[in-house]
Amino acid sequence: RSRILVSIGESFGISSSDKFSKINQMVSSSDWTLKRGYDGGSAPKPLKRL
Amino acid sequence: RQQALQKEVSELTRAEDKLDELIAKCNLQLRLLTEDSQNKKLGYVMCQDLRNTVDPPDQLVMVVRAPPETQMEVSEPSDGYQISLKSARGPIEVFLCPED
Amino acid sequence: AQECQNLELEKQKRMERIRQKRAQLQELILQQIAFKSLVQRNQASEASSQAPPPPGSVIQLPFIILNTSVRTVIDCSISNDKCEYLFNFDNTFEIHDDIEILKRMGMSLGLENGKCSPENLRVAKSLVPKSLETYVTGMASGSTHTSSLSGLCGDQDC
């Protein structure tokens, strides 16, 4: 299990951009078909809005 | 060759000291800038600004405004992704940026 | 020969540290310019509309955004005091901080990728102290990526 911790809420200018790029890389590099147990036709469950 | 190298290293030392001085100055300027009350009031973006920066524009855009030192942890359980937010200095604001 | 070897090592180490510090200084300059551009834009739009924007339509800095497809299912648990959130996503997403958003909004005037028009360069230089103007000029033309000594520290008297 990969896990990335970052402190947010700091005032403007204390940049965590490189941490966010690592998170975005980790998320986009995973293989979603495995994750979703994707069986081809199954459409995602109805969206739950916050 | 040793004298030439010695000269180069001392020039690099001077250049590095100058950079350290400029970085310290810039950090101070940025902090003063963002802490100025008038600038604090005017330091905002519109929802439309956010919409214009995501591609495709019809994505779901979630905005998180958190107190300082809020811990965000992104982990990869077996299915999907998990994001946890933990603040010890007050509530965290999370809201969706409206589509229009 | 030993002395030369040590000096060569010292020289490489210093050049690497200067490269990193130059990148750090450039990022600070970008942030300063982006923030000032945003404040000026908002000041001008409030002056022209004679009123501040409706409270619900603005997002105050600092913030981060998280964007994902509208088809993503997000399970969300929130503690009563709103100090803890847990999100489960079944699809990919991206996270960006406010600095990245301001750059995408064009608030750093194209300096982040060396594509700064002459007019934007004039504006950018007016937003920074004199001691940083040569830096901004170098960033505008992308010329501070040289490995020469003056390119490294960004100003001519180096």
Using CB atoms, which chains have 3+ pairs under 8 A with C?
A: A, B
Q: CA B69 → CA A7, B80, C28, C100, C106, distances in Å?
A: 5, 26, 21, 20, 28
Q: Are strands A3-8 and B70-75 parallel, antiparallel or unpaired?
A: antiparallel
Q: How far is CA B90 from the centre of its chain?
A: 20
Task: Say if the Cβ atoms of C21 and B20 lie within 8 Å.
Answer: yes
Pick from B34, B67, B74: CB nearest A13: B34
Model confidence, pTM: 0.84
Beta-strand runs (E) in A1-50: 3-8
Residue C22 tokens, joined: 């130059």
Query: Could you tell me which residues are beta bridge partners of residue C93?
Result: C68
The answer to whether C47 contacts chain B (CB < 8 Å) is no
What gap in Å lies between CA C52 and CA C59, rounded to an integer?
Answer: 13
Chain A residue with minimum CA distance to C60: A12
Chain C residue with minimum CA distance to B34: C35
What gap in Å lies between CA C50 and CA C142, rounded to an integer?
Answer: 39
| pLDDT at C137 > cutoff 70 | yes
Q: How many CB pairs under 8 A join B and C?
A: 194
DSSP string, C83-101: SEEEEEESS-EEEEEHHHH
Put simply, the chain B residues between 16 and 35 with a CB less than 8 A from any chain C CB are 16, 18-20, 22-23, 25-27, 29-30, 33-34
What gap in Å lies between CA C152 and CA C142, rounded to an integer?
Answer: 12
Mean of the pLDDT values across residues B13-42? 93
Q: What are A4-28's pLDDT values in tens digits?
A: 899 998 888 776 678 898 889 888 8
What gap in Å lies between CA C45 and CA A25, rounded to an integer?
Answer: 37
Q: What are C60-74's pLDDT values in tens digits?
A: 999 999 999 888 889
Q: Is the dihedral of CA B16, B19, B25, B30 positive or negative?
A: negative
More confident residue, A29 or C42: C42
With beta carbons under 8 A apart, name residues in chain C contacting B79: 90
Which DSSP helix (H) or strand (E) runs through C68? strand C64-68
Q: What are C111-123's pLDDT values in tens digits?
A: 988 888 999 999 9
Average pLDDT of chain C to the nearest whole number: 87
Task: Say if the Cβ atoms of A3 and B74 lie within 8 Å.
Answer: yes
Task: Say if the Cβ atoms of C102 and B74 lie within 8 Å.
Answer: no
Residues in CB range of C22: below 8 A, 6 or more apart: B19, C144, C152, C153, C154
Chain C residue with minimum CA distance to A36: C90
Task: Say if the Cβ atoms of A4 and B67 lie within 8 Å.
Answer: no
Residue C49 tokens, joined: 């509309």
Q: In whole angstroms, how large is the CA radius of gyration of chain B?
A: 22
Query: Could you tell me which residues are beta bridge partners of residue B16?
Result: none
- In single-letter form, the type of residue at position B88 comes to A
ipTM: 0.82
Residues in CB range of C48: below 8 A, 6 or more apart: none
Mean of the pLDDT values across residues C9-24? 94
